[in-house]
Amino acid sequence: MAVSNRGAALAGNEIVLRAVFTDSDGCLVDLDAVPEIYIYDESVETDTIVSEADAQTYTSALVGPLSAVRLSTGYYTYSYTVPAGGDAGSWHDLWVGTINGTDDYDYFSFRVTAGFDASSQSLGNNTMVIIELSGDITNSAGDESLVATDLYYSTNYSPLYASPDLIRLELGRWIDYIPDDTLALMSHISSKEADFIQGDVPCNSRNLKLAKTKFVVYDSVWRCLMIPGQGQQSGYASGKKKSLGDLSITDGAPVVAVPDEIMDWIHQQRQSWFRVVNAGANIVPGQGLTPTYAVKGMNDPDRRLGGRLWEDPGTIHYPQPSANSKRRRAGMRRGRFGFSDGRRRR
């Protein structure tokens, strides 16, 4: 029988109720005797529970008294089976005991649910649905039964910047053994990380979407290959394999291990696109954020001459020489900072 918790106790299932008793200093203390428990369903108000506890008359209780079990000093528990068909709502368990001859009580709550109702529930994104098929399911004649089976389904992942098919197109046979469900989950996790790294930038929205997709492709594959026993990593073998002579047994891990150069390439691509996403798609893969060079503007008076002092073809027009040569104007001589008109400056 399945065990429920206080947040969702299914009608007909068992729930473990626990209580801890302490003194005024917060230290655990045992009661004079194991406490008694009274169960109230959702129809009883808390004011009624308090009034009955003060009067020590528990006429509204659904069941009780129930004897708790001592686990350790001040720690008591009781396993209660919620009646099948019990109404959904907030139920209460009242604990009554005596400490050093003084009566004391306290009550707690747990929520009872009626179970799954397809007409009132809906599935959203990022949700996994588990269907348990019991092994005692038979046909109408009762002579055939199914093997106990668990079926797993997932709804649409959001965000999801790279589908399993797109990832397989990029990496090919190196990830043939990884199921689509695993790739989709890893892609979803990588997509959330991409959003955390950089949100949408309006001026570069198209470039950023592409950068996020590329990053998710390589990051999700890198995550899959980091699963112990997958890929080829230091400290892990490629799956579990036993061999004795010509006999070899493999547990279903990839037949061909991912070479180190492929692993390094995937990691390099992942890091490259990480920088692009982090920069808001303002750089290209392989480019850094630091400028390669910087010069002053054309109109800056402190702009230094560049190159080998060739004349600017935008201002001086002359026939293109057959070889690089300097053009010297009449009356000019070569000075310390180039050609001058021969006049001395005082």
Q: Do 18 and 99 have their domain in common? A: yes
Residue 178 lies in a domain: yes
Residue 342 lies in a domain: no
Q: Do 171 and 143 have their domain in common? A: no
Mean pLDDT of 261-284: 88
Q: Do 187 and 223 have their domain in common? A: yes
- Mean pLDDT (the chain) is 76
pLDDT of 235 over the 50 cut: no
CB 14 within 8 A of CB 79: yes
Of 278, 294, 313, the residue that ends a domain is 278
124-176 confidence digits (pLDDT tens): 888 878 888 877 777 777 777 777 888 878 888 889 999 999 998 888 887 88
Q: Do 149 and 208 have their domain in common? A: no
Mean pLDDT of 18-29: 81
Q: Do 184 and 260 have their domain in common? A: yes
Residue 340 lies in a domain: no
Q: Do 48 and 23 have their domain in common? A: yes
CA distance to 39, 125, 190, per residue, from 92 (Å): 6, 34, 43
Residue 333 lies in a domain: no
Of 259, 278, 297, the residue that ends a domain is 278
Residue 234 lies in a domain: yes
Residue 7 lies in a domain: yes
Q: Do 107 and 13 have their domain in common? A: yes
Among 49-53, 92-96, 310-314, name the one with the lowest average pLDDT: 310-314
Q: Do 222 and 147 have their domain in common? A: no
Q: What is the CATH number of the domain that holds 48?
A: 2.60.40.1930
Residue 312 lies in a domain: no
Residue 149 lies in a domain: yes
Of 113, 139, 173, the residue that ends a domain is 113
Q: Do 151 and 252 have their domain in common? A: no
Structural domain boundaries, residue 148: 122-156
Domain count, the chain: 3
Q: How much is the pTM? A: 0.46
Q: Do 104 and 53 have their domain in common? A: yes
What is the per-residue pLDDT for 120? 61
Among 90-104, 238-252, 287-301, name the one with the lowest average pLDDT: 238-252
Q: Do 130 and 105 have their domain in common? A: no
